[in-house]
Chain A
Amino acid sequence: MFVLHAAWTGNALNFWAESMHDATSTYAGRTLIDATDAEDELETTDAGEVHAEQELETEATGGSSTRVATLPSQKHAFSVPGEELLEALVKGRILTRDDVEAIGSAVLHIPNRPVEEVLIPEPSERLASMMHWSLDSEGLVLQPTSVEMIPIRNERVVEILLRLEDRVPNESFDVGHDVQFWFETGKLVIGLLESQRFIPTMAQERDGALRANWLPWLNDRETSARVAHLLGSMPAIACAVEDENGFDAWNIFDEALSSMSDAMVRSILVADDYPDALEGRDLIADGHAGWLEGLFNKTTEIPVRHGGEMPMLRAARTWIAHLDDSGASRVVRLCLQLNEPDSELEDATAARSTWRLSFHLITTDDPPIIIDAERIWNPDSAGDQMLSRIGGERETAEDVLLAELARAARIWPPLEEALSTSSPIGIDLSLEHAYEFLREIRPILAESGVEVLIPSWWGRSQSRLAARLLIESDPLDSDSGGTWGSGPARHGDLGLHSLVNYSWQISLGEKPVTLEEFRELAARGTPLVRVDGQWVEIRAEDVEGAAEFVNAHPGGEMSVLEAMRLAHGVDGTENTLPIMGMKATGWVAQVFGDVELDQRLDEVKQPERFQGSLRPYQLMGLSWLTFLDKFGLGACLADDMGLGKTIQLIALLQHERQHAEDPSVIGPTLLVVPMSVLGNWKREFGRFAPEIKVHIQHGLGRPIGDDFKKIVDEMDVIVTTYSLVTRDREMLEEIEWWRVTLDEAQHIKNPPTKQTAAIRAMKSRHRIALTGTPVENRLTELWSIMEFCCPGYLGSSGDFRRRFALPIERHRDEQQSKRLRELVQPFILRRLKTDKNVISDLPPLVESKQTVAMTTEQAQLYDAVVEEMLRKVDTAEGIRRRGLVLASLVKLKQICNHPAHYLDSIGADPGEPTPDRSGKSTRLTEMLEEVIANGDHALIFSQYRQMGHLLVSMIRHEFNVDPLFLHGGTPQARRDQLVDRFQTKDPSAPIFILSLKAGGVGLNLTAANHVFHYDRWWNPAVENQATDRAFRIGQNRTVNVNKMISIGTLEERVDQMIEQKTELAERIIGVGESWVTELSTEKLRDLLSLRHSNLEEVVES
């Protein structure tokens, strides 16, 4: 696998790549990290003896010193030879050989790591993260490093970037941030060209020749702000080539924008035979023809008679200067106001009367002052302050008005008429001119710095011809609303697939019109007509479009699902008319209408048997779940992390049982969860709804076949994991589930896996998805979840991608984004911790425990360490015994953290530190995903620096964000830097990992609203102190604290002791770990040995 990079040099974009294969085991910096980490374990405990023990062991086994790096070379260690990269790119159909000039090379100034007085090129962050390396940026120096590169032809580069973005990452390529930057650049270029934001220009070069080129026009305010933002996000690696651009970001970016645009325009024009237009022209005598020749041909040279260069350049400069003169820097600008004909007039009369365009000047004050032209020509009082302020020493207000009008007239000649009078105050426009002004001229005048005021109806959907869907559905049976027990069919057969009557209504503005009426209006032949006092726009294509639409949509019966898709313009066909939502009667109106949620819902009371108390917003969530269930509609509860999605679901199960006439008809709910939260679910059911019978379908000895069926019959809830759904698919499929519920529903992904397919195949009366990620912004996830909750509602994934994902994600299409929101809004409930009605309900600090099962690998290592210790402990005595026990404690805690943590510390091959090898890191990454997706910030505390390194590499790898890391070895200056960076809430640094000792006191980290304690400290006061880094003055949000605990291990045992405040716990808190060394072998066995449960990972083939 390659990590692709791109650099702009030699006036071309060059691809280069790092290879993962070459990086494996040859990177010297790796050894360096291992070496520092071995020392670092010293920081980790407060029992002095262990240190000696640890060091001894490390030395005895040889430790990490056996892994020796290869010597550095002058060349970049991981860079891929040009020919090999080219081949891979061609094979991956990213480009063809024709797109490439000869393979070249360039010198990059990139970070190198000094290792034993030699400098070794550092792998890129993306490569390091793929290799699960956590690299420290300290000590790195920039060093010229030669890399082979593939230059792409300029006329092809934008297209190749667009295509590449669409296809990576894949199994052959991942891309660095520099390539992502070039993706955005490519999109910027094509967007500027497509929206005609480019100009022809010319320049004289040192040799005196005039050269013509096409240039993206960046000087307008909006464009330059966007370009500046992109420039600001240019990664250093994109400016690292040694060439004449001198590492200057803007030089490089500017040259790239210009060259890409110019080459692309030129090649399109040549392919379209534009140069033929110049045939037979005298290119030297005719300056226009000469310029165009330069704009078409490859040499770019403008043929011009000797000495004519400078006059031509000067003329072009004068011309292009018109664009700079946007009036933005003026104190006063021209303001044009278009006034519609008198509203008192009859519609028909109004249509024939004229539109008045009045002239004004507008100041830059806030709020601006508008001065009518009348007042400028006839100052009403001698001391008109305003006018004297506008008129400077050199020009009067009159001069400004006239000069500005002349400038506007250059853009729109009809304004010239005004200049033929001595003191123009406005002009009358015909309806056609008014329409041209509204539709075409207004935006151009606006970007030229003219303020344009127009009637408010213009541009609104109400002023256009549109079609609206009318849906008739049965009214709700009011008395059946709260009753249960008649089986799966609640309101008869209501649901997405029930049929409703529909018809289409064409309307002009708010007024429904028949086709005939519309034809009559259109026959008047004017683009604007007034209907019932309202101006509406009729375009020529509307007449045919309306007729076509009416023919194609006669009305009739269809499913609610189809109707909703139609009403939001999401069906497969392209409509000839804009669709303007729907109007519904009956139950459809209740579910899909745009009434506020709390108005639509009958509020449900807290179930009687619920052990605890539901907050108001949680009751609302419960009401919403029961409401959708009533209509057989799937639901996605997407509340923020920490708002209690679990208990809302638990309450739903209780609610339906409490209100059913015959609870026995309520079948079992299948609850699919990630393995990491199995334990939590079990605990939460036990705590809040002990009467609900829960079966955890997990473990090697889980019931199958008839045994399972029997259990299903007896139980209310079957909890199982995503991976087991695939394995047990056949068995689970046979059961008619009352409800299938997914926790952490973002697990079902697109493209679909076997797992997703298995889950979708479950037969069920109702479906609920729980997730804490902002699904509405993560479109592939949204599609997958909606496809689970409401199959077919969003169409096929390809269709969805074309219609929504591409326009919204790539091009920030607001309109499609809004449509999609409206479409899914009935099915998704998402409350944020910051919501007004939620925040008042929330306590400032929410503590929870994440009890997770260990993986098989962890359990095996854990068992082995306990075994070995118990075997040795009997024969050891005194300090030897205490050392042995303490060392084992450390090992067990390391195993709970992550197998790699433990293996590395004993000098064994740690393997790849992927999160899925540890229950805690699996759960942590799940939760961090939500934190990051929500734009929140989190602190993670660990006692172990090595664990910190592992977390850094995991987080980089999983989320592609750069976590901050503060540990005992971090110099003070760097600490301050880290804290400052985190406190700015920099979205690129959402995670801060701290060693408990170094970061647990003193710091102010209120930017965080999540705190994770990755491993437990014996003393809760120490943990609380660490928590207080975030939970302190200056914190204005609820802080969620999560303590990670491995089930069945000493962590859980110690946690229980602390919770039960036992006498033993008092001792623990007082003296740290040394009390453990005093325990008898039996007590040790009891405290430390792993209590297996069926929550552990299932290993099957």
Chain B
Amino acid sequence: MTPTPEPRQKTRPDGPRRVRNGLKLRRKEEETEWQWPAGTWAETLLQNVPNGVMKLALEYGRLGQTTMLETGAGLVTANVQCEPARPFQVRIEFPQLSEIAWGRVLQRTASEAIYAAKLLAGEFPSIVEEPFKEAGHPLFPNITEVNSSCSCPSDTLCHHQVVVALLLLERLQETPELVIALRGRTAERFRNDLQEARMLATRGVSQAHTNPDIVSLAGSVRSLESRVDEFWRPSSSIDLFRAEAPKNFAKHALLRRLGASPIEGRFPITGLLASIYDTISEETARIRSAAEGPAESTGDDETDQAPSGTGGEEPYSSS
């Protein structure tokens, strides 16, 4: 006799093999609705679940038959203990957004300060959904895009999958920002990316380097209007500025401090930069001495020759 899986489950009224410390569903069936974003996912995930399956799933949930549940980028994996000795593996895959899609979403999110303000303050309100919609990459995809599977023999939607979905919804209820992870990125990453995108949006640029804090060193900077009475001259003595002679500098100092580049690339960038630094040193020194060299008009040199004859060279004789 080879019973089909379905009747087989039904033939074991004493239920599944019990586990200790399983993940239990705390929620009662009659409780109020799911909140956003769990509510939105509930509609999607639970819409076509037959009553019997749901009932069974709820029972499994309360019994704590789920031994493991992990959420990763766009993926939920779980083990649900049923009757057989080994638990069934449930896998729910959510469609991940592409880099480009994330770029668009971030750009939209960054364009309005409210999102960044809420998100960076640690909140996760439902309006976060808006920029996803606007970018054409909704936070909640269509059910057809969600792939769910279970290692149990059933080929229809089984209660194993449903109990995992319920547990996931419960997690979403507690930690709404998990919804971002379902689309492929952790909330933390999203926040960081958003910060960068905000920099782009507000300053138009996101730099690889930090800016020096010159302004606070320079002291108070006065408005143009307040400087009318000394408009044309420096506010502090410019003569005290030290345009010092660039000799005896430590060669390649910054390059050595930088160390090896973490950028993915095979080109020997450090070696080329070292040679670039030397070229720039030499060429700028040459440009400087050429520009500062005696101008054509200082023909007075000859008349300055020391009467004793010990005076120096002709102005142009040295190279």
A interface, CB within 8 angstroms of B: 93, 109-111, 124-126, 137-138, 140-142, 158-159, 162-163, 166-167, 170, 176-178, 180-181, 184, 187-188, 190-206, 208, 215, 217-219, 224-237, 239-240, 247-250, 254, 264-265, 268-269, 272, 274, 277-278, 281, 286-292, 306-308, 310, 312-313, 315-324, 410-412, 440, 443-444, 447-448, 497, 559, 561-562, 565, 572, 750-752, 757, 760, 787, 791-793, 795-802, 806-807, 810-813, 962, 987-988
Contacts and interface: CB of A to CB of B under 8 A. Distances in A.
Interface stretch (B5-13, B163-171, B254-262): B254-262
22 contacts: A159-B290, A177-B232, A193-B280, A196-B253, A196-B281, A203-B205, A215-B209, A231-B215, A235-B232, A240-B231, A272-B283, A274-B279, A306-B100, A320-B209, A444-B253, A565-B310, A792-B306, A792-B311, A795-B311, A799-B312, A806-B292, A807-B245
Given A265-B280, A272-B279, 5 more contacts: A170-B297, A250-B214, A288-B265, A307-B103, A792-B309
Interface stretch (B131-139, B175-183, B217-225): B217-225
Given A162-B291, A203-B205, A180 B253 contact: no
Contact of A288 (B269, B285, B308): B269
B214 A810 contact: no
A799 B306 CA distance: 11
Given A751-B298, A791-B308, A236 B263 contact: no
A289 B266 CA distance: 8
Contacts of B318: 572
A137 B232 CA distance: 11
Contacts of A440: 250-251
B52 interface: no
A233 B235 contact: yes
A281 B290 CA distance: 36
B103 A208 contact: yes
A191 B100 contact: no
B268 to A, nearest CB: 8
A203 B199 CA distance: 11
A166 B308 contact: no
A443 B99 contact: no
B228 A269 contact: no
Contacts of A237: 231-232
Given A286-B265, A562-B310, A240 B301 contact: no
The secondary structure that dominates the A interface is: helix
A831 to B, nearest CB: 24
Contacts of A254: 211, 214
Nearest to B221: A249
A360 B140 CA distance: 57
A191 B244 contact: yes
Given A124-B232, A190-B288, A235-B233, A315 B263 contact: yes
B204 A205 contact: yes
B266 A792 contact: no
Interface string B265-307: 1111100110011011101110110111011111011011111
Interface string B179-210: 00000000000000100100011001111111
B224 A240 contact: yes
B243 interface: yes
Nearest to B317: A572
A201 B241 contact: no
Contacts of B153: none
Most-contacted residue by chain A among B218, B225, B251, B255 (CB, 10 A): B218
Given A233-B241, A288-B261, A792 B308 contact: yes
Contacts of B237: 233, 987-988
A812 B254 contact: no
B250 A444 contact: yes
Given A236-B231, A287-B264, A268 B241 contact: no
A194 B306 contact: no
Contacts of A322: 257-259
Contact of A206 (B205, B243, B244): B205
A201 B242 contact: no
Given A176-B232, A236-B232, A307-B100, A218 B292 contact: no
A138 B228 CA distance: 9
A196 B249 contact: yes
Nearest to A206: B204
Contacts of A178: 232
A137 B231 CA distance: 9
Contact of B238 (A111, A125, A181, A200): A181
| 8 A-B pairs with least C-beta separation | A307-B99, A288-B265, A792-B306, A799-B312, A228-B217, A811-B245, A137-B229, A162-B291
Nearest to A561: B310
A230 B241 contact: yes
B234 interface: yes
Given A197-B254, A234-B234, A988-B233, A204 B205 contact: yes
Contacts of B70: none
A196 B265 contact: no
B50 interface: no
A977 to B, nearest CB: 9
B6 to A, nearest CB: 45
B246 interface: yes
B51 interface: no
B147 interface: no
A320 B211 CA distance: 11
A410 B258 CA distance: 8
A206 B230 CA distance: 39
A217 B304 CA distance: 43
A277 B200 CA distance: 32
A408 B251 CA distance: 17
Given A181-B234, A206-B201, A236-B230, A226 B267 contact: no
B224 A798 contact: no
B52 to A, nearest CB: 45
B258 A142 contact: no
Contact of A752 (B235, B276, B300, B313): B300
A698 B285 CA distance: 53
Given A194-B284, A315-B264, A812-B244, A180 B232 contact: no
Contact of B276 (A126, A250, A269): A269
Given A194-B288, A233-B238, A307-B98, A187 B243 contact: yes
A191 B243 contact: yes
A801 B294 contact: yes
B266 A159 contact: no
Contacts of B236: 229, 232-233, 988
A231 B213 CA distance: 12
B17 interface: no
